[in-house]
Amino acid sequence: MTNDASDLLLPHARRSSVGFVYTDPPAPSALGSGVLISVGSLSGILTCAHVAEQYRSRSEIGLLRFSRNEALQMQKLSLGDTSTLYIEENVGQPRWSNPRAIDLAFTLLPPSVADALKAMCVFLNWELNAKKFYDGEPESDRHVDAVFGLIGQRTGMPTREDKLVTTPMRAELTPGHIVSRDNGALTLECMEYNKADLPESFGGTSGGGLWRTYIRTSADGSYQEVQTRLCGLASFQQDPTHIVCQGFERIELALVPAIRKQFDQTS
């Protein structure tokens, strides 16, 4: 039990999230975020199309794991071994200027890479996650919503030691509440108490998960987790305190059927 509801959500987000990193000299920099998911026998990274577009023509990128408490773990991902599916619509002019655009992608990982990640991380089972939505909301006292992803603005200055360059990077859980729904786009409003600590820019968070945890309040005022689910992906910063997200319906109805059709002919 805990006195902070966000503490119940954070382990789920950390275990199933990754950060994408440019590895170009002189030092690494944040590219975006993603969520590890499995769709049937397929394992890959769920992210935004505008994030995946940034690594479309690259041979490799850095991949950050957040599964070990505060320790970031980085590896290189060879993109020649992957395949990426894009679902995008009404992106605006210039591209990606429409906050309500459909903005989804899935990067299929080869079994060797997926198996290595499974030793340290958790691939969210999409079918089980979807069942939670179809079953309806569980009995609970309340819920808390939050996005989790890299914050490029929090990237520290690189340091060099024995020819190795290290750049401190930071992922954050940003709690809030879903305050509007518009054709599958969800808007998260950050918590009032947290506004003073928010970054000016959430650049790097795009593709990071929008999570919801349902909780019960015990007699002593502490919280117990009832259920946690992935509700969508952060995709557009509307203003300093509102983040537009790709909702569950878009992923379930547009992206997941396309994943099954393109990558798994036996489904």
| Lowest mean pLDDT, pick from 48-52, 100-104, 141-145 | 141-145
| Average confidence score pLDDT of the chain | 90
- State yes or no: pLDDT of 165 exceeds 70: no
Q: What percent of the chain has pLDDT over 90?
A: 72
- State yes or no: pLDDT of 156 exceeds 60: no
Q: Supply the pLDDT for residue 265.
A: 55
Q: Supply the pLDDT for residue 141.
A: 92
Q: What percent of the chain has pLDDT over 70?
A: 91
Question: Is the preceding omega at residue 199 within 30 degrees of 0, hence cis?
Answer: no
Q: Supply the pLDDT for residue 192.
A: 82
- Output 1 or 212, whichever has higher pLDDT: 212
pTM score, whole prediction = 0.92
Name the burial class of residue 98, with classes exposed (0-12), middle (13-18) and buried (19+) by CB atoms within 10 angstroms of its CB.
middle
Do 262 and 39 meet the contact criterion of CB atoms below 8 Å apart? no
CA distance 208 to 143: 19
pLDDT digits (tens, 9 = 90+) for 34-65: 999 999 999 999 999 999 999 999 999 999 99
- Output 165 or 177, whichever has higher pLDDT: 177
For 46-78, b where at least 16 C-beta lie within 10 A, e where not — what string?
A: bbbbbbbbebeeeeebbbbbbbeeeebeeeebe
Q: How confident is the model at residue 74 (pLDDT cuts 50, 70, 90)?
A: confident
Q: Supply the pLDDT for residue 201.
A: 87
Do 48 and 255 meet the contact criterion of CB atoms below 8 Å apart? no
